[in-house]
Amino acid sequence: MAREELDEVLRYASQFLAELPERPVGWTAGVEELRAALGGPLPEDPQPPAEVIRRLIKAADAGIVGTTSPRYFGFVIGGSTPSSLAADWLTSLWDQNAGLFVGGPAASVVEEVAGKWLVDMLGLPSNSSFGLVSGGQMANFTGLAAARHHVLARAGWDVETRGLQGAPVVRVIVGAERHSTIDRSLRFLGLGTENLRLLEADEQGRMRVDLLEAALGEYDGPTIVCAQAGNVNTGSFDPLRPICEISRRQNAWVHVDGAIGLWVAASEEFRHSTDGLELADSWAADAHKLLNVSYDSGIVFCAHPESHQAAMGVRAAYLIHSDTNERDSMDWNPEFSRRARGFALYAAMRALGRSGIVEIVERCGACARRFKEHLSAAPRVEVLNDVVLNQVLVRFLAPDGDHDARTRAIVKGVQDEGTCWLSGSEWHGMAVMRISVSNWQTTAGDVDRSVEAILRVAQAH
Ligand SMILES: *Cc1c(COP(=O)(O)O)cnc(C)c1O
């Protein structure tokens, strides 16, 4: 049986991927244009699927950002490797409900295998549990939910049945440059942001570990410490070994937000940055960043499976739960029904192999250093951070002294020019251009082309 709508997608996909390296990286249609092309009332009558797909492609194409382009350097957005994309399509085709083993046995086993590969590759404790979640936000949320259970249970309080009303105060110690998803997770968990104890960060955004011992000493109740592997601006790593060692002595749980940086644990070149990683209690990682798995691919790991399951697990009479030999993912995830996101992760890892994964991480690092070298050699251009991973913060100096205005104008100019796409940020109160290299296809040639475009735009400002 011919499936015209699927043929339509396959034809477009081949063309899109072929044109991707040369199509403008930014979008070309504005919001009004997109509303006009996509809007209108819900049709009263059914429309032929192939016709709907053809029109959707035609109307949306100019509003699609080249996030998977080798010259997309905005935020921290990986692309998707061919095997990840293909397995992602299979995920929709099979449409398994991956919450329970009985909703998709192959999905459950694929998760089990991919999770074990990851625990092993990253050097985490071999009995660690894991959950495949939508992204770094939910990985942080899940890790911190396990933490909340664990530190309160140790204080004799069962938070799952009693909630937080009347519970001992849980103190959370974070670095000043933590990611905003940590605060948001604490809001979701009812811990609030007021009980946060902020530790100053150094000039690269790393938690000042010399302040940790004293901060831990201020309170002897349930305590969680949030460390970070890969700062979203500078790429810097908190010193994990001393953080974990000091926290352990005080019975505090350490959660590591490694959305960007956990992957470096696989690389000999970079591994020193995550020294002590295995001493933490929970970890968050994003496969859609440096691993280049399609979106919907965050991962949480936990060194205390029983606390992880106590925080997430669910039982209901109508569900068919597996015996202990089979994995029900809803025991490790905040979701109930969900798509079988393990297929894309599994296929991506299998296709790359350990050496292919390391190669992406190391090439992204090399490309970031190349950006730094070439840009900082140009007149009136400064790179503000130590380029320790994939992030480069650039500032353009203005003759009139308004460096912020010139930097912002150049960021906008580069976005409009189309050779590459990157975004702005603020660092220590200064406007900066923020370059993130995290795509599996980015080469030195892409860096050189992008540097040329950036310097061309800078000259005009
Ligand atoms: C990207 C990122 C997150 C959030 O991850 P999402 O996948 O966007 O939910 C959290 N922490 C850090 C350090 C990040 O870089």
Q: Cα of 249 to ligand 1 centre, how many Å? A: 29
| Distance, C-alpha 303 to centroid of its chain | 20
* CA distance linking residue 179 with residue 231, whole number of Å: 8
Mean predicted confidence (pLDDT) in 373-386: 97
Mean predicted confidence (pLDDT) in 409-418: 96
Q: Cα of 315 to ligand 1 centre, how many Å? A: 30
Q: Which of 260, 283, 300, 390 to mutate to test the pocket of ligand 1 (most atoms within 8 A of CB)?
A: 260
* DSSP 8-state class, residue 221: S
pLDDT in tens, 317-355: 677 777 778 999 999 999 999 999 999 999 999 999 999
Ligand 1, atom 14: closest residue by C-alpha: 259
Q: Helix or strand or coil: residue 302?
A: strand
Q: Cα of 252 to ligand 1 centre, how many Å? A: 23
- 289: exposed, middle or buried (C-beta count within 10 Å: 0-12, 13-18, 19+)? buried
The DSSP element (H or E) to which 132 belongs, if any, is strand 129-133
Please state the φ and ψ torsions of residue 434, each to the nearest 5 degrees. -115, 115
* CA distance linking residue 112 with residue 327, whole number of Å: 7
Cα Rg of the chain, angstroms: 23
pLDDT in tens, 69-110: 999 999 999 999 999 999 999 999 999 999 999 999 999 999
Contact residues of ligand 1, CB 6 A cut-off: 76, 135-137, 179, 181, 228, 230, 232, 257, 259-260, 286, 298
* CA distance linking residue 222 with residue 251, whole number of Å: 8
Ligand 1 atom at shortest distance from the alpha carbon of 260: 15
The predicted structure's pLDDT at residue 321: 73
- 1: exposed, middle or buried (C-beta count within 10 Å: 0-12, 13-18, 19+)? exposed
* CA distance linking residue 194 with residue 445, whole number of Å: 48
The predicted structure's pLDDT at residue 1: 58
Architecture of the domain defined by 86-348 = 3-Layer(aba) Sandwich (3.40)
pLDDT in tens, 219-260: 999 999 999 999 999 999 999 999 999 999 999 999 999 999
CB atoms within 10 A of CB 377: 10
* DSSP 8-state class, residue 273: G
The predicted structure's pLDDT at residue 434: 97
